[in-house]
Amino acid sequence: MIIIGERVNATRKIIRTAIQDKDRSAIAAEIISQDRAGADYIDLNAGTGSGDTDQEKNDLCWLIDIALECTEKKLVLDAAGPEVLQHAASHLNNRRAWMLNSINGELEGSALAVIDLASEFQAPLIALAMDQDGIPSETERRIAICETITEAAERRGLDQELLFFDPLVLPVSTDVSQAMVTFKTIEGIKRRIPAAKTTLGLSNISYGLKKRTTINAAFLTVAICCGLFSAICDPDRGEIRRAIVLGELLAGRDRFCRKFSRAYREGLFGEA
Amino acid sequence: MNQESSLDRIRHSIVMGHVDENDEGFDGTMEGEPGTVDLVREALDVDVNPQEILNIFNESMEEVGKLFESGKYLLPDMLASAECVGNAMDILEPHLVGKQENQKGKFLIATVKGDLHDIGKNIVSTILKGAGYQVKDLGIDVSVNDIVAAVKEFKPDFLGLSALLTTTMTEMEAVIKKLKEAGINDVKVLIGGAPTSEEFALKIGADGYCRDALHAVAKLEQMQDALSGR
């Protein structure tokens, strides 16, 4: 299971403030704690929503520099526009393994430019199962979008191995069938685009409810059992780590139950 | 590499249950390291005495048994170690030819007719392989006649019978009866499974009852000692 640590994201107030105040140690602390908690990738997002592209470019490079200093983990360059991503990619200059986050099925100039960037560096790319009409509420439509993205990517020299599809999730609070739609989408992507990978942001599932981390964790466990390859989450949360360990155990992806027993010995499930 | 460190590495690999290079081992540090089988192959290549390797297998599994009984190891940890030895034994065995006195013996195992439980039987089978026995597993739902025929053909030193149901444990008695009728009295019969007990074993004329896999190993050692008069 590949874990992408989600916390360095400027949509979070603590990160936005740290970016504005150029508070290095606050960012470093967020990175280091996710590193220690077992993240494979650290996501870096500097989009404060100001719409100032030059500012976002500088801020993302600043985040990259901090990450290069305080972790050995791989990095995810996370921005909405191709300009910021291109700038960040050339600043990073392959000093660390990395991937791009993200495009969706609205395949006009901007998304195509990001695909070209991924193709140029042969870097993995996260692609969302939605398009200009938003997130489809049915499985079939989401998978169809992923297939369209795959075709476009392959035409531009980016093999499906390098695509990480996020099947997306809508809140169960507004439509109780939505968790199952996501699970079936994960299975469908695996079946129809076999070499592509999947990743998943969790928190939308529990929007509008209580005990959100508990819901997110149960959702993640089942998603792993459906074949989920990677998750975008906060590995520093015990409930999330437990969900991953249990998902891999029940999915048959934990030979000799090693990961489970080690987590148990380390006290992840309480007193041994 | 000298012979001692080669044996130490095999011991460590077995205790860690490091089956192959893809396996992370008990402590999670061993991914990418050569597996137990590879280490045994290497040792044989540099002419380490096969008998010493066999001794290491036994010592390592004893250590693993203790770790399991102390609660530090869980069942899959012990099974991983047993699998290491089971696989490595296939490599080592040809090198032990002519040293038959060191073989622990042949063990035939089956779940009796009408009973489909195989988890316990498989655990016993894996652990006994790990302990150095040559194990043949007939599977589940095996009839009295098939068991007796297999005893005639395989000529085991020990026969292990498993039953998890009160309705099928009676089959065990039928097997023992049939063996007597066939004039076979040189195979020791051991029984196990939730509804069975020491008393039941006595009652049906079995040679022993085993509570679990480690108990089976201990029981077999006792029997070996008694047989050889040690």
**Chain B positions in Cβ-Cβ contact with residue A261 (cut-off 8 Å):** 74, 76-77
Average pLDDT over residues A131-160: 97
- On average, the pLDDT of chain A sits at 96
Q: How far is A252 from chain B (nearest CA, A)?
A: 13
- pLDDT-derived band at B230, boundaries 50, 70, 90: low
Q: What is the pLDDT of residues B42-94, one digit of tens each?
A: 999 999 998 889 889 888 988 998 898 898 999 899 889 989 998 898 888 88
Q: Which two tokens stand for residue B29?
A: 């540090």
Q: How far is B77 from chain A (nearest CA, A)?
A: 6
**Chain B positions in Cβ-Cβ contact with residue A256 (cut-off 8 Å):** 17, 23, 76-77, 79-80
Q: What is the pLDDT of residues B104-163, one digit of tens each?
A: 889 999 999 999 888 889 889 888 888 888 899 999 999 999 999 999 999 999 999 999
Cα separation, B142 vs B149, in Å, equals 11
Q: How far is A249 from chain B (nearest CA, A)?
A: 12
Q: Do B76 and A262 touch (CB under 8 A)?
A: no
Q: Do B74 and A262 touch (CB under 8 A)?
A: no
Q: Which of A183-187, B35-39, B52-56 has the lowest mean pLDDT?
A: B52-56
Q: What is the pLDDT of residues A216-246, one digit of tens each?
A: 999 999 999 999 999 999 999 999 999 999 9
Of B11, B17, B16, the C-alpha closest to B54 is B11
Domains of chain B, first to last: 3-99 (1.10.1240.10), 104-228 (3.40.50.280)
What pLDDT is recorded for position B229? 62
**Chain A positions in Cβ-Cβ contact with residue B25 (cut-off 8 Å):** 258
- CA dist B216 to A99, B136, B191, B219, Å? 53, 15, 9, 5
Q: What is the pLDDT of residues A24-59, one digit of tens each?
A: 999 999 999 999 999 999 999 999 877 789 999 999
ipTM (interface pTM) = 0.73
- pLDDT-derived band at A215, boundaries 50, 70, 90: very high
**Chain A positions in Cβ-Cβ contact with residue B77 (cut-off 8 Å):** 256, 258, 261
Average pLDDT over residues B212-217: 89
Of A256, A259, A262, the CB nearest to B79: A256
Q: Do B77 and A262 touch (CB under 8 A)?
A: no
Q: Which of A61-70, A106-115, A239-248, B98-107 has the lowest mean pLDDT?
A: B98-107
Q: What is the pLDDT of residues B173-186, one digit of tens each?
A: 999 999 999 999 99
Q: Which of A146-155, A164-173, B185-194, B214-223 has the lowest mean pLDDT?
A: B214-223
Domains of chain A, first to last: 2-213+223-234 (3.20.20.20)
Q: Which two tokens stand for residue B197?
A: 């007990």
| Interface contacts (A, B; CB < 8 Å) | 24
Q: Do B76 and A257 touch (CB under 8 A)?
A: yes
Cα separation, A220 vs A214, in Å, equals 10
What pLDDT is recorded for position A48? 81
* pLDDT above 70 for B98: no
* pLDDT above 90 for B41: yes
What pLDDT is recorded for position B101? 45
Q: Do B17 and A257 touch (CB under 8 A)?
A: no
